Structure 1
Amino acid sequence: MKIATALALAGALLTLDVGAASSGWDGKKLYRYTNEHGVQVLDNVVPPRYVAGGYEVLTVSGRVLEVVEPELTGPELVEKRRREAQMAADLALLKRYNSVADIESARKRKLAIVQQDVAILRSNISSLSRQIKNEESAAARIQRNGGSVSTEQMERIGNLRKEVDVVNERLSMRNKEAVAINSEFDQATRRYREIADK
């Protein structure tokens, strides 16, 4: 494939050289650009201040060799960059997945890991809650019998509650992650279908 492309390019260049020779082109170039007054100018060079506006490269006989488009600015440039970013994202999507079924399979794998973590965190919360309940029951018995609960026991109960808060926070983060994963894969599926329908 690369050899065929190289040969095609070489053939095109050869054709250009033959065409140039048959038209009597001596290799000299002229440049046509539009100045600040909107007037087209033919010159040996394009002054730097006009390069951004685009120009044409011509032979002395007036045949156009090359057209250099004006540089994009403002909204046009933003749109061009957006299109390029979308094309790069589409290419990455097509390289990563061969079908919508592949996307769904990847979603299930990612979600399975998160769901496993969620199950472990819920189990931890349940275990910590039992420990808190046991410690509080023991403290209540001591108080009913006229004793006072030790500082160590109160600290244990406080520390267990803090652990529950930390685990609950992790659980909340994992649940948000599951929502984000679903959103990411929904978008990938939609875009894959759009590309496939083109």
Structure 2
Amino acid sequence: MKTALALALAGVFLTVDVGVADSGWDGKKLYRYTNEHGVQVLDDVVPPRYVAGGYEVLTISGRVLEVVAPELSGKELEEKRRREARREADLQLLKRYNSVADIESARKRKLAIVQQDMAILRSNIASLSRQIESEESAAARTQRNGGTVSAELLARIENLHKEVDVVRERLSLREKEAVAINSEYDAAASRYQEIAGN
């Protein structure tokens, strides 16, 4: 039946004036798809197994109403999503900044905050280190004089060492953040130059 329909329609396409036929279009549609043998088929439905390969919706006279693109494979879909994400990121970059100078200014502002925190953390480490030195000197004097260092003093020294470790870890995180900020803004400046053509 499909073959007969296809042949009959081929004859219609050759003999019917498209403009005249479309003027009286009754809303009936045909679907053109490619089968597994690479042959284009006209039918009143698209079998489910051919939907993924894409198809066209036509009037009886052959005018194309809609083209349904083939579904993308896994890699093609991943690539399409990557391109769309890149395009969106580029649009956001152009909205956020007017020039590379704007990007550099934003970098400086962001780094200034991180560097200020790093300076405070370094100052805290120095202060804690002085406290540790003072407490350890007191403990050493007590031992030199033949006394026993109190459990409270030993606990204070231990707590100060732990506090220094915590502050050093925070400082390390802020140092990594500064590196990440520089990388982020280097990439933004480079991409801005590419897409803005500067």
TM-score normalised by L of structure 2: 0.84
> 1:111 maps to what in 2?
111
- Is 1:146 matched up with 2:146? yes
1:175 partnered with 2:172: no
Residue 21 of structure 2 aligns to a residue in which SS? coil
Structure 1 spans left out of the alignment, 5+ residues? 1-19
Instruction: Return 5+ residue gaps in structure 2 as ranges.
Output: 1-16
Single out whichever of 139-148 and 55-64 deviates more from structure 2: 55-64
Which residue is equivalent to 1:83?
A: 83
Query: Could you tell me how far 1:78 is from its partner in structure 2?
Result: 1.3
1-side partners of 2:20 and 2:99: how far apart?
53
Identity in percent: 78
Provide the aligned length of Structure 1 versus Structure 2. 179
In structure 2, C-alpha distance between the alignment counterparts of 1:55 and 1:22, rounded to whole Å: 23
Separation of aligned partners in 1, 2:32 and 2:46:
8
1:94 aligns with 2:91: no
Please state how far the C-alpha of 1:94 moved relative to its aligned partner: 1.2
Q: What is the RMSD of the two structures over their aligned residues, measured on CA atoms?
A: 1.8
Shift, 1:22, TM fit: 4.2
Amino acid at match of 1:187: A
Note the 1:179-198 alignment, pairs <5 A. 179-197=179-197
Residue 21 (structure 1) shift: 9.2
Aligned to 2:166: 166
Secondary structure, in 3 states, of the residue corresponding to 2:42? Answer: strand
Moved more, 141-150 or 60-69: 60-69
Q: TM-score, normalised by structure 1?
A: 0.84
Aligned counterparts of 2:150 and 2:67: Cα–Cα separation in 1: 88
- What is the one-letter code of the residue matched to 2:56? E
Q: Deviations over 1:71-130 (max 9, x none)?
A: 111221111111011111111111111111111111111111110110000000000011
Q: Secondary structure at the match of 1:178?
A: helix
**CA distance in 1 between partners of 2:30 and 2:118 (Å):** 71
Deviation per residue, 1:6-30 (Å, 9 max, x gap): xxxxxxxxxxxxxx99433114321
Name the structure 2 match of 1:67. 67
Q: Greater shift after overlay, 60-69 or 134-143? A: 60-69
Partners in 1 of 2:52 and 2:58 — Cα distance? 18
Between the aligned partners of 2:142 and 2:65, the Cα distance in structure 1 is 98
User: In the alignment, residue 111 of structure 1 is paired with which amino acid?
Assistant: L
What is the match of residue 38 of structure 1? 38
The 4+ residue runs of structure 1 with deviation greater than 6 A are none
Q: What is the match of residue 12 of structure 1?
A: none
Letter in 2 for 1:24: A
Report the Cα distance in structure 1 between the residues aligned to 2:35 and 2:102, rounded to whole angstroms.
55
Structure 1, 48-57 or 182-191: larger mean CA deviation? 48-57
Displacement of 1:67 in angstroms is: 2.2
Q: Which amino acid is the alignment partner of residue 135 of structure 1? A: E
Query: What is residue 124 of structure 2 aligned with on the other side?
Result: 124
> CA contact under 8 A between 2:18 and 2:63: conserved in structure 1?
no
Shift of 1:68: 1.9
Could you tell me how far apart the structure 2 residues matched to 1:23 and 1:80 are? Answer: 41
Farther off after superposition, 167-176 or 87-96: 87-96
